[in-house]
Structure formats: structure tokens, C-alpha cells
Structure 1
């Protein structure tokens, strides 16, 4: 199976790329080649997808069983991908986001049939618009779309909302015994997923014809509250956390 990843070396996609190669997939990575990370066994195509007039020549002559765009964030990106890959791929996989689901949530249990709608985050609304455009391409043009909605997924990042992600601040404070902020009272529920676990579900959908026209999310089935998540991060760092709980509404006034 010949697969193209647009991106493929990020927080989530690196794990998927490694597993795809391990499973015997002929994997090509289209990116600018600016990251130091590499995926042994994957073939590199150097190009900037934001400049399709530059990418079209380097993609010429290729046809794909699957194309996955890890870095499409708005309708213009989707229009570009449709123009580049229409009639040239057996499956197009769009990476959406579980943040696209309805907020506030009507139920603590979210499924793929949960309505989409997030008035609080433009990123999520852009992803919803992308999904709508892709579904129209699927209905009207037969474009072979599959939509994936990752939730909070980590590997190279620290999975906390304040002072973490790509910053070391929260780990430094934990190790020094300083207070760290946990939003609310720490009891709200969440799920976090390691990218290696996400990859297992994702690779199984590549080239799967019954996945075309459908949306999926891939998450852990473990339910944790935010105190527990911060405690797990502290345990990994070999220390004990010192929490200070601050109301989420108050924190939000500084965003």
C-alpha cells in the first residue's frame, strides 16, 4: 500500500509514521524538511504544501492508495487538497479534532454521532468547516473521505493545559516543590491518549474501504480527572505535585 502523509513528523503523526513503516506500508512524507526528526524507512518528498504550485511538480507521476493531511486547518487547505488529489487517491484522511464536538457537552460520553459545535474556540470551528466541505466533496464528487478526530494525545508534549505542552515550566515547578495551577477543583473528567496507542487504531483504517464516508475518533478508554492527570505527570517526573486550584472562569478572563 502506497501512502502519502502531508506532515508526518509531529507529536501524533510520528508514532503513526513509525508504525506504518513497521507494518510494511510504503510511506512517503511530504514536508518542508525543517524538523530534525526522521522516520527510518519512510521516503521524503520535500515541499511546502502551503504552496501548491511548488508541490504539484514534485507529486507529479505519483498515485496513492491513501493520502493523509495532518496539517489542514481551514477550508482553503481542503480546497487545495481536493485540487491536488482528486482522482489520484483511493482514500483521503482528514485529521479533525475531538474539540469539534458540541460544547458545552450534553453528556459526559462523547461518540462519533455527537453533534459538532464549539462556540469557544475558532480552531474547532475551522475544523468543523473543513469537515463540512469534505463531506460535500464526498457526496457531490465521490471524493473518498475518511475523517479522524483525535482528542488530547501526547508523546513529545506534556499533557496539561497550563505550563505544559511544549514548555518545561510545570515540570520545573513540580521538582522544586512550587505550587502548580489546576483549573477548577481538579475533579472534571478527561481522557488522554498516548500517540503510540492512537497509531494502532489509525493504521488499521488506512486503505479500509468501509471507512470511507465515515468519521472516527480514537481515544483511550481510561477516564481521569485533572488532579489525577497532574499526579501522573508528577510521578513520571519523580516528585509530588503541590496543587493550587483556581476557578476556570477566572483563568479564562486572562486568555
Structure 2
């Protein structure tokens, strides 16, 4: 879930940029000075320069089917468009700060407009979705933990009842409390190991099957689910095994304390 959330956010963030439009009379040297300043900011990842000629060509392509706009453009003697800088930051939340730096009087005389408002709602929506997915993941994990604890406690209770005669004999021959409890704790760790193998065995085929659909949804060639699993296999396996072992040991200890009278 964390991987898919990160992939979704990264996919959307890659498509977010902010354009800064300059007055047609702004000299190219002035625009390049602004670009150099922006590149020097730690928050900025990339600044693409679009010349007046390139801006005009893109405008023609975007409005090629609108004859009235094209004819009006032809009537003008000069290119009415200025140069453009397309800004990408490392974090979408950095855009307000970056654009605020352009309010400096040194730059405002060249800058005609900024289209941040078009993306502001998208950025805010990303933040809201991220928070909701994170909260949903926490709630879902809590529910699964509760279910797992109840299953372990119930299983131990049944096991104690089933082996009550053997436990009684062990106590008669002088077995210590830990000697009686240890098989149940070891069984919990064994089940955690087997459960981890089952989870890994399910995740890999599911990832192979789901990756093409998820990649298509995010409009990218590959979200890298399999690569992520391969590179983090040991960490995922150990984390899952340790987490389930600790959960099983705690649940088993609680069940033994409640139902095992030794």
C-alpha cells in the first residue's frame, strides 16, 4: 500500500509544473538571468526555457483548428508572445515559495503572469489524498492486528484444552512453567515464518499480474513493483517475519497467562 501510494503521488507530481510568462519586450538575457536564479534555489529541480519563437509555434499547434485565432495572429506584424520558463520543484508544496521569490522588483518588470493557480487545487488534492490513504492504511492495519490477536488467542486456548492431559503429566514429572510454555511460543514463531512465506508467495504473482494495469492507470511504462520487491526482498521478509513473530509471542503469552493454569 505504501509503495502504491508513493507511486501514485510521484506519478502525479511528475506531471505538475508551473509556467512563468514574460512580457514580449523582455530581453532574452533578462529571462536567462531569472532562469539562473531559479536553478540556484535548492527547492527547484529543473527550469526549462521556451523561447518566443517556440511559444508561438506551440500556440499555433494548440489552436490550429481555430481559424479566427490563426487569422488574427497572421494579421499581427510581430510575435505577441513572450518567453516562458517551466519550473519543476522537488516538492509541489515548494511552488508558493519559489513563485514568491519572483515578486522581487528586480523580476516583476519582466514577469507578465504565473499559472500557479491552475495547479494549486491539484497540489492540495494530493495532500488530502495522501493523508486519507495513510489514515486508511493505519486503520486497516489495526483491524488486521486485532483479528490476528483474536485468532492466536483462540488457537492457543483450543491447543491448551486439547493437550491438557499431556500438560498435566509434564507438571507431575516436575517440568518447569517455561518448559510447558515454550512449545506454544515456538509454535507461534513457526506459524509466523510460514505466514511470511505465504504472504511473499502471494505478493509476487499478484504483482506480476497487477503491474500492467497499475502502470496503465498511472500512465507510465512501468511502476517498478517487481523491481521494488526484488531490491527490498530481504527487508520485506525480515520485517514481516519479525512483526508477526512479536505479535504471535505477545498474543500467545497473553493466552497462556489466561488459560494455562500451571
**TM-score calculated relative to the size of structure 2:** 0.24
TM-score (normalizing by structure 1): 0.24
Larger Rg: 2
Q: Greater share of helix residues, 1 or 2?
A: 2
Higher relative strand content = 1
